[in-house]
């Protein structure tokens, strides 16, 4: 049996599912893209090549090996983008919750069946059909579960709106002893600089009391301000619109002191080191063209 234990974003990682870039498929048609950034690169002819993405994801696998982390990989499905394992499920405490993902992506879930089936059936949760939730929007943080959402009447017109209020309510019912705190995110189907695809595209806690944050990713200023007050202004690294576009908040914590980050995030990485973090730099700029980065490619199963 695979044991699960996730209470926050930064405790020492022991087991993780890491996405896979093999057999990623041809460059998608514009109408088949799930986000505005991918569309931008398809139009420009700069959509990432499979061989480059395989190398980038291997660099992350190498870091995990260095730290002695148990790594699971999805089974390869021919011509299917399986990089973003964070989207398909998430773990809170000792439960794994399957995401009700975009219908076109159902087969990505099938590729981790062999892992799902090794988990105690009582700990496997499938949310009701009306609950939409993707792992990039769900952040356990000790006594809290932070959730990115969009509750506008036009929810269904945004392919970028991935987690709804039904899911927020369902999580509160599943974890009544935690405070589920939702944040309305700014959505755009067409402008990647005005689109927070998931909560982890504009916010992520790091260490024990710090956070990376982008104000414009939040639709409601007081919700953004709540996070500033919660972590304290002096503990926050505020990223620019350009840095959000490049996914600077989407780093990944191996522990409270070790963070995997993209090697081009110069300003962020300098700040992290000044705060006492060990920064493991990897190349991830090609994968980032699909509006996802390091947190998006990982599904943590067990942290101490």
Taking residues 20-43, report their average pLDDT.
81
Average pLDDT, the chain: 92
d(CA 284, CA 304): 27
Looking at the DSSP bridge assignments, the partners of residue 93 are 6
Domains of the chain with bracketed CATH: 13-128+203-303 (3.75.10.10)
Q: What is the tens place of the pLDDT at every residue in 220-276?
A: 999 999 999 999 999 999 999 999 989 999 999 999 999 999 999 999 999 999 999
Q: What number of other Cβ atoms are within 10 A of residue 202's Cβ?
A: 28
- pLDDT tier for residue 1 given thresholds of 50, 70 and 90: very high
Cα separation, 63 vs 104, whole angstroms: 31
Q: What pLDDT, on a 0 to 100 scale, did the predictor assign at position 99? A: 79
Residue 167 has pLDDT above 80, yes or no: yes
- At 136-151, the pLDDT tens digits run 999 999 999 999 998 8
Q: Which tokens hold the place of 34?
A: 């799930």
Residue 189 has pLDDT above 80, yes or no: no
At 33, give phi and psi (nearest 5°).
-75, 150
Taking residues 289-293, report their average pLDDT: 83
pLDDT of residue 25: 79
Q: Residue 17 has which token pair?
A: 């599912």
Greater pLDDT, 107 or 237:
237
Lookup result for tokens 């148990």: 70
Residue 176: is it exposed, middle or buried by C-beta count within 10 angstroms (0-12/13-18/19+)?
Answer: exposed
The whole-angstrom separation of Cα 67 and Cα 62 is 9
| 212 confidence band (pLDDT: 50, 70, 90) | very high
């Amino acid at each position: 049996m695979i044991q699960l234990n996730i209470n926050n974003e930064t405790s020492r990682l022991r087991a993780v599912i890491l996405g896979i870039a093999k057999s990623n498929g041809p460059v998608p048609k514009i109408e088949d893209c799930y986000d505005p950034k991918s569309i931008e690169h398809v139009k420009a002819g700069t959509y990432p090549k499979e061989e480059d993405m395989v190398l980038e994801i291997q660099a992350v696998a190498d870091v995990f090996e260095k730290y002695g982390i148990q790594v699971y990989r999805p089974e390869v499905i021919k011509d299917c983008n399986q990089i973003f394992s964070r989207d398909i499920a998430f773990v809170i405490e000792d439960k794994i919750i399957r995401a009700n993902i975009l219908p076109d992506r159902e087969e990505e879930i099938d590729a981790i069946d062999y892992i799902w089936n090794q988990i105690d059936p009582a700990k496997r949760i499938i949310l009701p059909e009306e609950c939409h939730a993707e792992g990039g929007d769900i952040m356990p943080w000790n006594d809290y579960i932070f959730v990115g959402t969009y509750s506008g009447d036009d929810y269904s017109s945004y392919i970028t709106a991935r987690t709804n209020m039904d899911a927020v309510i369902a999580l509160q019912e599943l974890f009544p002893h935690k405070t589920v705190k939702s944040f309305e995110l700014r959505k755009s189907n067409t402008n990647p600089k005005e689109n927070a695809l998931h909560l982890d595209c504009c916010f992520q806690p790091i260490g024990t009391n710090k956070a990376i944050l982008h104000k414009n990713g939040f639709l409601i200023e007081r919700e953004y301000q709540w996070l500033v007050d919660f972590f304290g202004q002096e503990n926050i690294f505020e990223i620019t619109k350009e840095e959000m576009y490049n996914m600077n908040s989407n780093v990944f914590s191996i522990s409270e002191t070790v963070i995997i980050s993209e090697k081009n995030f110069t300003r962020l990485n300098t700040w992290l080191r000044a705060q006492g973090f060990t920064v493991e730099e990897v190349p991830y700029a090609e994968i980032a063209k699909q509006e996802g980065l390091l947190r998006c490619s990982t599904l943590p199963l067990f942290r101490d």
